[in-house]
A = this chain, B = another copy of it.
């Protein structure tokens, strides 16, 4: 820290992303990327010819990209905000929709970045414990006095909220923004986007990083009432108006026009998820029912940390969290069938060792 750093940020504890090893010798099941490549249309959009466009600034309104997203989601351009990854949106939402010094409500087990955003913007994080089975009780969020943030499906558990429950949370927070983070919605959960017209307090956040195989592109979007979207635009034009690479905008449009390709890949990931879960259950694991592209699992025979370390030694990366309540668990991204076979093989090897 420099002697010039604002005292506001002195005690900031930044987010720690999952490992991104550069050597790629690992089976990488630790940061919920897709095991499948972007669609052929996305790949084709990255060409030396299109690269000539890098010379000029991108459209700061990202109008064509917003139109493509709006068309796919059944909403208008004015209901769509696009950003440099969904973290960029979450940050703005915490900044925009909380009273200075106010509160923000989210589950105690959820995306680890929420408490960081709260701290950054000087907000009190009210962390509401999820139930014993890691499910969320919607009633816990009724009548909050601050923004409510819920990832659906939740991470790292994979648990979902039903649309009716989200509706109840919206109903009981008419004066608070309810942010539904749908990073993982394309793997079997139901989106809340259909409620956009009904609730002016609903903001839905999405990413291209998971189901669209574009984590490296940095592209996320938010959907909601046009007034909420306008507020996000105000912050964007007060910080970084040209926020999205011109080729990323083209790739984002191409991805929206490859829905069939991506739907098939999402179905494949769901099939692999169920197969992997069944195999782990056979081996005595507890597997939390997941509607995401990951599963949250624990074994009675080997500790969460030992499993993580042992797999790492064997060339398989999964994600372990130190948090007391979930330290027995690990989050395992669903890869290809072949990758999950390697994962299971290594697990078997370790269990054999553990039972000696």
- Name A residues whose Cβ lies closer than 8 Å to a Cβ of B: 1-9, 12, 14-17, 20, 22, 28, 31, 33-38, 42-48, 50-60, 63-64, 84-85, 87-88, 91, 95-100, 116-117, 119-120, 175-177, 200-201, 209, 213-218, 225, 227-228, 230-231, 233-248, 251
Contact = CB atoms under 8 A, between A and B. Distances in A.
B239 A96 contact: no
A38 B52 contact: yes
Contacts of A242: 17, 85, 87, 215, 218
A238 B14 contact: yes
A84 to B, nearest CB: 5
A4 B201 contact: yes
Contacts of A37: 52, 55
A230 B55 contact: no
Tell me which of A44, A238, A244 has the highest count of chain B C-beta atoms within 10 A of its own C-beta.
A238
B87 A84 contact: no
A177 B228 CA distance: 35
A21 to B, nearest CB: 9
A37 B88 CA distance: 29
A48 B55 contact: no
Contact of A216 (B20, B55, B85): B55
Contacts of A96: 4-6, 9
Nearest to A16: B237
A176 B213 CA distance: 44
A14 B243 CA distance: 14
A6 B200 contact: no
Contacts of A47: 46-48
